[in-house]
């Protein structure tokens, strides 16, 4: 069977199921299309004009974050900005972060490939050919209702400007989000995997606002149902000026008092032991934690090269990203030092 790489999912798909570089399945799930549009898929304007559009269309409804982002709607194959109710969020690569759109798309596709729940996403070009990262909103249900969404900062009663504060840990964050869900074990596992995956791929920008949970619009309780699909995950490795810390928050709460695992004291960096302690401290248990760590590491090692080589990143960017993943997987295989 002849296969081709889908530009949207980066998966190898039977050529018979492809249409102008996109799989039919991706066109349907991402854009609600049964075939590739006659006029193609594109974003209105150019990357250079995007900032001007952002000023015009984000007055009072801007999406928080480092990158300029716009809500857009799809009309005859063209993504166009709207003030509200846009189904898509479009993010071009900022000048100081070359290929950030391609980077985020590759890492998100890798997350999906290893079985994590991620937001639907794609890479779509502006009129000048430069690609932007496009993600589909997950807070709108199939019948048009809005899910109630609350991010980790709000759920943990932390002001947004302190979302990555030195006084925070992933251990306590996951415990609080677990409580917000009514103590659902699946929430613990989902949160644990999100932290672990971010460490593996070099996403050192996992702050509280990158966690979010939802409950149904008809819910009569404040209990959150589960995490939303993962979003805003990329590799910081290609940007040395921002590639300083292993993680945004401390992994274990004891680290806030300068108490690290015996393995960290010996190696000088996070290893299997630290994530094993995280699993135990949040209530997953050491045995289950060990299994989850080994399973995710194995899946990433199996999928990373194929997904990233299939991506639109430059060869240099691919090399840097794969090197970071290889290094982190090696860290997670280090023996425990007691």
Which residue, among 80, 79, 77, has the nearest Cα to 39 in the 3D structure? 77
**Residues in the chain where the model's pLDDT stays below 70:** 51-67
Residue 116 backbone zone (phi > 0: left; psi -120 to 50: alpha; other: beta): beta
| pTM attached to this predicted model | 0.94
Which position has the token pair 């934690």? 289
The DSSP letter of residue 61 is: T
User: Exposed, middle or buried by CB within 10 Å (0-12, 13-18, 19+), for 75?
Assistant: exposed
Quick one: pLDDT at residue 198? 97
State residue 209 phi and psi, 5-degree precision.
-75, -5
Report the chain's C-alpha Rg in angstroms: 20
**Secondary structure E strands in 156-285:** 212-215, 226-227
Element (H, E) at 322: helix 315-331
**309, β-bridge pairs:** none
Write out pLDDT tens, residues 27-77.
Answer: 999 999 999 999 999 999 887 777 666 554 444 332 234 568 899 999 999
Quick one: pLDDT at residue 218? 85
Quick one: pLDDT at residue 61? 36
Quick one: pLDDT at residue 155? 95
Residue pair 248/207 in contact by the 8 Å Cβ criterion: yes
Give the number of other Cβ atoms within 10 Å of residue 134's Cβ: 25
252-to-37, 120, 153, 258, 260 alpha-carbon distances in Å: 49, 31, 18, 10, 8
Quick one: pLDDT at residue 57? 44
Quick one: pLDDT at residue 59? 40
Quick one: pLDDT at residue 2? 82
Quick one: pLDDT at residue 245? 84
Structural domains of the chain sorted by starting position, each given as residue range(s) with its CATH number in brackets: 3-136 (no CATH), 148-331 (1.10.1070)
Quick one: pLDDT at residue 54? 57
């Amino acid at each position: 069977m002849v296969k081709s790489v889908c530009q949207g999912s980066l998966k190898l798909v039977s050529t018979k199921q492809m249409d102008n570089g996109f799989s039919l399945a991706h066109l349907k799930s991402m854009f609600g299309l049964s075939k590739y549009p006659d006029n193609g898929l594109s974003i209105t304007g150019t990357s250079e004009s995007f900032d001007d559009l952002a000023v015009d269309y984000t007055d009072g409804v801007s999406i928080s974050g480092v990158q300029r982002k716009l809500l857009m709607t799809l009309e005859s194959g063209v993504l166009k900005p709207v003030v509200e109710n846009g189904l898509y969020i479009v993010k071009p690569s900022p000048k100081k972060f070359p290929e950030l759109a391609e980077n985020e798309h590759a890492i998100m596709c890798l997350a999906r490939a290893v079985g994590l729940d991620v937001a639907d996403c794609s890479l779509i070009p502006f009129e000048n050919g430069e690609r932007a990262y496009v993600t589909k909103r997950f807070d709108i249900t199939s019948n048009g209702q809005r899910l109630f969404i609350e991010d980790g900062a709000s759920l943990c009663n932390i002001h947004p400007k302190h979302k990555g504060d030195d006084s925070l840990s992933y251990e306590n964050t996951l415990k609080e989000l677990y409580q917000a869900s009514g103590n659902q074990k699946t929430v613990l596992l989902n949160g644990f995997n999100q932290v672990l995956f971010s460490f593996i791929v070099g996403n050192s920008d996992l702050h509280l606002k990158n966690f979010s949970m939802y409950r149904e619009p008809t819910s009569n309780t404040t209990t959150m149902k589960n995490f939303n699909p993962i979003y805003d995950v990329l590799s910081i490795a290609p940007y040395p000026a921002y590639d300083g810390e292993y993680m945004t928050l401390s992994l274990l709460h004891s680290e806030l008092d300068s108490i690290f695992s015996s393995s960290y004291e010996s190696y000088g960096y996070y290893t299997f032991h630290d994530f094993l302690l995280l699993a135990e401290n949040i209530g997953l248990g050491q045995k289950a934690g060990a299994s989850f760590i080994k399973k995710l590491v194995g899946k990433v090692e199996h999928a990373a090269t194929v997904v990233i080589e299939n991506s639109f990143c430059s060869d240099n960017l691919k090399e840097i990203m794969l090197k970071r993943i290889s290094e982190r997987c090696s860290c997670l295989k280090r023996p425990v030092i007691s």
